[in-house]
Amino acid sequence: MKKAWLVVVGTLLFVACGRNYTPSSPSQVSETGSSSSGNTASDMVTAPEIPLVAQAVGRVGFGFNGTVSGFPTGKVFLSGGGAYEPNSDSHFVHAGGGFTCINAVRQGPLSISINQNDPGPCLDNQGIRWDTAELLESTPFKCTGSATGETAVTSDSTVVLRGDFYRAGNGNDESFTAKMIVSSHDISSNFPGMNLWVEGVGCGIAQAVNFSR
């Protein structure tokens, strides 16, 4: 009898726990990396309405090369590419490529070095490479200093980045940091055909542009 009674009690406890148990998911993990325990009601309130698995769209690869200008001074060549996740909380991005100031840039971020060992603006034929400091959700931009401001938004066919720009001899210490846009389509309603932009320099037509999943 005693053994049978223990079996019944154990079964009832198992059923009761099963009714209150809610499987955890990545969407219920807190921003500090730990999941809450013993407070299912709190988890249900803070969890997103759509599971993260449903929100994920995967990584997008891109490649390009082109030249930008439009502001009073400066002309810049860029090439390269990489991969990013347009709709994820991680803001994953890994991209870089070649960079050259064909003509000196004397306004905007490329005119002010943040490298104490390599001061001054980006001059004629300076520059060697760029890499990515940050993936941005969007940015305001202008193709010329007098143009009307517009906005570009990161998607699966447009990437908005904050890039680090290096001159020869910089090693891992960049000389400049500036925003940039690469897109498979026009980014400006005022300048048809423009699909490449560098902050403080202007817009251009990127060649060999490719965005793919």
* Same domain assignment for residues 114 and 173: yes
* Same domain assignment for residues 44 and 75: no
d(CA 204, CA 191): 9
Choosing from 6, 38, 55, the residue where a domain stops is 55
Q: Please report the pLDDT score of residue 58 as a whole number.
A: 86
Q: Please report the pLDDT score of residue 19 as a whole number.
A: 38
* Same domain assignment for residues 51 and 85: no
In a domain, 11, yes or no: no
* Same domain assignment for residues 48 and 152: no
Q: Which residue is listed with tokens 């013993």?
A: 38
* Same domain assignment for residues 122 and 155: yes
Q: Please report the pLDDT score of residue 57 as a whole number.
A: 55
Q: Please report the pLDDT score of residue 104 as a whole number.
A: 98
Give me the domain span that covers residue 132. 56-212
In a domain, 2, yes or no: no
pTM: 0.73
Number of domains in the chain: 2
As given in the structure block, the two tokens for residue 160 are: 């908005």
pLDDT in tens, the chain (213 residues): 434 444 333 443 333 434 333 333 333 223 333 333 333 333 333 333 333 333 345 899 999 999 999 999 999 999 999 999 998 888 899 999 999 999 999 999 999 999 999 999 999 999 999 999 999 999 999 999 999 999 999 999 999 999 999 999 999 999 999 999 999 999 999 999 999 999 999 999 999 999 998
d(CA 155, CA 60): 9
As given in the structure block, the two tokens for residue 15 are: 């059923």
